Structure 1
């Protein structure tokens, strides 16, 4: 077993299930992958419509997956870029790690986000688009600078909390997380590059809104 790898993961919440795995790929593989994705992908900065105005997103991103895995959020319809071989290989690793932990999953797409430093961010949201289904399982790989993902309850019944996501980690958001919680990557005075890859299963029979 590779150094630092957590076979069963660290349970952060039982209901809804939120689990963190560390040491997913091991070194130097994880750092090589970070550099490869940073340099090889055609990163985009699309504009999204918020409150009737167009705004460039405060990070760079790329939607990737099977041809039918179209996705819509914040008023934009995204058609997937073809799988990059390195991302396709990572997908296989994620699926195998989840199977080993008793969490069988299938994914056909991934949203990659590139944060150049701690000032680039992701606002409050839930991954609850119709094409993801009512209770999606979403697996998020983090590479690069360690940053906290902030979670808050939809009904504000409990205090908000941080989940620190280290380099070479996998956060699994199970059934009910998207319907009961919101999450964000808020600005921090943290230097360094971070790339996240959130693997999803898009239902091709549900047309994006």
Structure 2
């Protein structure tokens, strides 16, 4: 850890990665997790990887403003309308940034991923699709089972490392993160439901 300015903690200085604990409060965050689990139209789409179609090893929903379409792995995603709880969470994140010592960002879309248990996963990638702009910022909220986000340098300057993502925590991946690093949620023998919400800005 590079710096701690409670409740924000700087996990990496360059590129800047910050963590905020207690975004909603434990009870509210738990209630939101179960609401999203039961109320969202979760799907398990097939994506093209290395020329072959595969069903993703998790469930997801793309959500946001009506114009915030998104394309990755050979598929276009049209956003679902904002769920009230997710819209409130977005406003909460933007308010936290506005009153912090960090730069403020606005988000118009979010990718929600549902992990049923430790076998559900996300492969190595960077959130650097063209529609996210030249230097995207991603704010990721974790609900449910705590799991580590594995990070690795694209230029192999140092060893890969873990960032543990606790319930009701916010991970802010600042400018440069998607350029220099890849991340993955690898399989773990960690039981329990986990829902992640990664807020972005589609241009």
What TM-score range do you get, normalising by the shorter chain? over 0.9
Q: Which runs of 4+ in 1 moved over 2 A?
A: none
User: Structure 1 residue 8: deviation in Å?
Assistant: 4.5
Q: 1:59-114: CA deviations, max 9, x gaps?
A: 00000000100001111110100111111011100111111223311000000000
Matched with 2:120 is 120
Tell me the residue number matched to 2:132.
132
Is the deviation greater in 48-57 or in 175-184?
48-57
Residue deviations 1:49-68 (CA, integer Å, cap 9, x gap): 11211100000000000010
Segment of structure 1 superposing worse, 49-58 or 167-176: 49-58
1:27 maps to: 26
TM-score, with structure 1 as normaliser: 0.93
1:97 is matched with: 96
Q: How far apart, in 1, do the equivalents of 2:90 and 2:66 lie? A: 16
1:162 aligned partner: 162
Instruction: Say if 2:187 is the partner of 1:187.
Output: yes
What's the secondary structure of 1:42's corresponding residue?
Answer: coil
Offset of 1:139 from its aligned partner? Answer: 0.2
Is this contact kept in 1: 2:7–2:21, CA < 8 A? Answer: no
1:124 shift after superposition:
0.1
Preserved CA contact (<8 Å) 1:7 1:100: no
Counterpart of 2:110? Answer: 110
CA distance in 2 between partners of 1:181 and 1:174 (Å): 11
Which residue number corresponds to residue 41 of structure 1?
40
Local SS of the residue matching 2:33: helix
SS in 1 for 2:26: coil
Corresponding residue of 1:3: none
Moved more, 147-156 or 7-16: 7-16
C-alpha distance in 2 between matches for 1:27 and 1:132? 31
Over the aligned positions, Cα root-mean-square deviation in angstroms equals 0.9
- Give 3-state SS (helix, strand or coil) of 2:155's partner: coil
Secondary structure of the residue that 1:142 maps to in structure 2? strand
Structure 1: tracts of 5 or more residues without a match: 1-5, 204-209
Give, in whole Å, the separation in 1 of the partners of 2:75 and 2:99.
36
In 2, Cα distance between equivalents of 1:27 and 1:18: 23
| TM-score normalised by the chain length of structure 2 | 0.96
Q: Does 1:12 align with 2:17?
A: no
Unaligned runs of 5+ residues in structure 2 are none
Aligned to 1:62: 61
> Distance between the aligned counterparts of 1:7 and 1:79, measured in 2?
37
SS at match of 1:103: coil
**Distance across 1 between alignment mates of 2:152 and 2:51:** 26
